[in-house]
Amino acid sequence: MGTNIYKINPEFRDIMPKEIIDLEENATWSATTDKRGIKELPETKELLEEHSLCAGCPEAAALRYVLAALPKPEDTVIVNSTGCTSLMFPHIALHTVHSLFGNQNAVATGIKRVLDWRFPEIEKDVVVLAGDGATVDIGLDYTLQSFFRQENITTICFDNEVYANTGGQESGATPKGQVFKMAPTGKKFEKVRMWELAVTSGCHYSMNMTASAPKAVAKAVREAIFVARYLGPTFLNIYTPCILEIGLNANEGLREMKEQDKERFAAFKFVSPEAEELLAKLKEEGRL
């Protein structure tokens, strides 16, 4: 069960909020290995039952899809960075590490290498999950260097095209012309096409998509993690609009993502020939 993944240190138990104790006591995600997936979302506590993001924030829904898709949640470490994404991690019962803003791919590299050295007999997955400010802007060097070094990690960027958590500054992922509260003159150059940069920088698998379709996100996450585990770096850019900064209501995030499926976030998918071969083999073995 979930306590194997998530166990509260007895010394701190008396000061833990009741939600955290509840998460440990009633977690069900790892109780079984055959009942895992998107379908279990409504009844699995570890998959973000509650969160402190804005109501209707697509980042929260997207994180649920990512978590539900992990092939081995009990052997996965998620490395996060500061931003709205980081507000969700205290609410999930899986191994997560909060790294200094922008450093996430360097931190993930260290964790992955040490895990492989310490547990050579166990397959451990390391997944970076951070915003566009952390991934494509302040942390861009660290992101790319981990691709260049061919680290066995998956990088997932929750691209809301803005530094949301600090009130609306532009990032490299902001589209040209976009005005935000703290970027009043408008972005002067085009959005960095990170999913293409990932390919030229050595990723074996790279996708650009929105979080409008849970099954599509889950499929991409599983494939990317398997490719990272056996071949090398993989990248997913997932559009999760900041409804607050673009002036949408809580119930309008899904519509925005569906519209963008046909426009700026029309799907892009790159799979290297080695990765194609690997995925075909995993499919044949029933692991995908």
Ligand X SMILES: Cc1ncc(C[n+]2csc(CCOP(=O)(O)OP(=O)(O)O)c2C)c(N)n1
SS3 content of the chain, % helix, strand, coil (to 5): 40, 15, 45
Residues 239-258: x where in contact with ligand SF4 by CB under 6 A, - otherwise, as a string = ---xxxx-------------
Q: Using CB distances below 5 to 8 A depending on partner kind, what does residue 142 bind out of ligand SF4, ligand X, Mg ion, none?
A: none
Q: Could you say whether residue 140 binds ligand SF4 (CB under 6 A)?
A: no
Residue 44 or 155 with smaller CB distance to ligand X: 155
The 3-state DSSP class for residue 209 equals strand
Q: Using CB distances below 5 to 8 A depending on partner kind, what does residue 82 bind out of ligand SF4, ligand X, Mg ion, none?
A: ligand X
Longest dimension (CA), the chain: 54
CA distance 200 to 148: 9
Interacting residue with ligand X among 6, 29, 65, 101 (CB under 6 A) = 101
Contact 130, 163 (CB under 8 A): no
CA distance 224 to 47: 19
CA distance 181 to 202: 36
Which class for 283: exposed (0-12), middle (13-18), buried (19 or more C-beta within 10 A)? Answer: exposed
Q: Could you say whether residue 59 binds ligand SF4 (CB under 6 A)?
A: yes
| Distance between first and last Cα of the chain | 23
The minimum distance between CB 162 and Mg ion, in angstroms, equals 5
Q: Could you say whether residue 253 binds ligand X (CB under 6 A)?
A: no
Interacting residue with ligand SF4 among 27, 57, 106, 238 (CB under 6 A) = 57
Interacting residue with ligand X among 68, 79, 164, 198 (CB under 6 A) = 164
- Report which residue's Cβ sits closest to Mg ion: 131
How many chain residues bind Mg ion (CB under 5 A)?
5
The minimum distance between CB 246 and ligand X, in angstroms, equals 12
The minimum distance between CB 52 and ligand X, in angstroms, equals 13
CA distance 285 to 52: 40
Q: DSSP assignment, residue 100?
A: P
Interacting residue with ligand SF4 among 23, 27, 48, 54 (CB under 6 A) = 54
Which residue shows structure tokens 């500054």?
Answer: 169
Site for Mg ion in 136-175 (CB under 5 A): 160, 164
The minimum distance between CB 59 and ligand SF4, in angstroms, equals 5
Residue 181 or 215 with smaller CB distance to ligand SF4: 181
Name the phi and psi angles at 170, rounded to 5.
-80, 150
CA distance 132 to 119: 32
Per the rule left: phi > 0, alpha: psi between -120 and 50, beta: everything else, 32 is beta
Which residues sit at the interface with ligand X, rule CB under 6 A?
Answer: 82-85, 100-101, 130-134, 158, 160, 162-166, 171
Residues that bind ligand SF4 (CB under 6 A): 53-54, 57, 59, 84, 160, 164-165, 242-245
- Rule CB under 5 A: which residues touch Mg ion? 131-133, 160, 164
